[in-house]
Amino acid sequence: MSASFDRLKAEILNCHRCTLSKTRNHVIFGEGNPNAEIFIIGEGPGKVEDLKGRPFVGPSGQLLDKILAACGFSREKHVFISNIVKCRPPNNRIPAIEETQACLPWLYEQLEMVDPKIIVLLGATALKNMAGNHHRITREHGQWLTVRNRLAMPVYHPSALLRDPRLKRPTWEDYKNIVRKYRQMVDRDHFSSFIRE
């Protein structure tokens, strides 16, 4: 990890910009390859993440890891994962506007440093905060958008797939598109045993 990324991490781990700092156990900076070409953005840490200090390690994270593995992606090599807010909102409520406004500058700095070619927006909160409040995940999942001058794909949050398994099929089609784009933009030989073409 570069010195500037280390400095940013140290600053974020000490952040008290919003009241979520009062109830958190851990600040979840994010994890993955700091030079990844795919940057995945979720909503915020859940209970397990807040206790363990890592992003996406609860049931939703396990499902996300399975989807990434089917795409031929790993956290270590291909992606960096972070959230709209880096501290857990109590009872997993949607983050309040003053919390997202306080926290988003951290995410913007992370994006500039990682400098990915592709952003994946997990669920409505990530979509609305990064692309605008008028966007709808039900309508726009699977469509390429431009977010902060980068290509971005909204997909359903893995927690939505756990609540409603009918969303798994359209979500898989969306991830196939992400793999195809990755082959076009990053690595034409990228291997996925499930997505050949």
Binding-site ranges for ligand SF4 (CB under 6 A)? 12, 15-18, 20-21, 27, 85-87, 99, 102-103
Rounded least distance, CB 98 to ligand SF4, Å: 9
Rounded least distance, CB 125 to ligand SF4, Å: 13
Rounded least distance, CB 177 to ligand SF4, Å: 31
55, 149, 173 from 111: Cα distances, Å:
16, 11, 26
**Closer of 37 and 43 to ligand SF4 (Cβ):** 43
Rounded least distance, CB 49 to ligand SF4, Å: 13
**Closer of 20 and 111 to ligand SF4 (Cβ):** 20
20, 57, 79 from 89: Cα distances, Å:
6, 16, 24
**Closer of 57 and 167 to ligand SF4 (Cβ):** 57
96, 131, 133, 153, 181 from 150: Cα distances, Å:
25, 11, 18, 10, 13
Contacts of 115 (CB under 8 A, 6+ apart): 35
- What are residue 155's DSSP bridge partners? 122
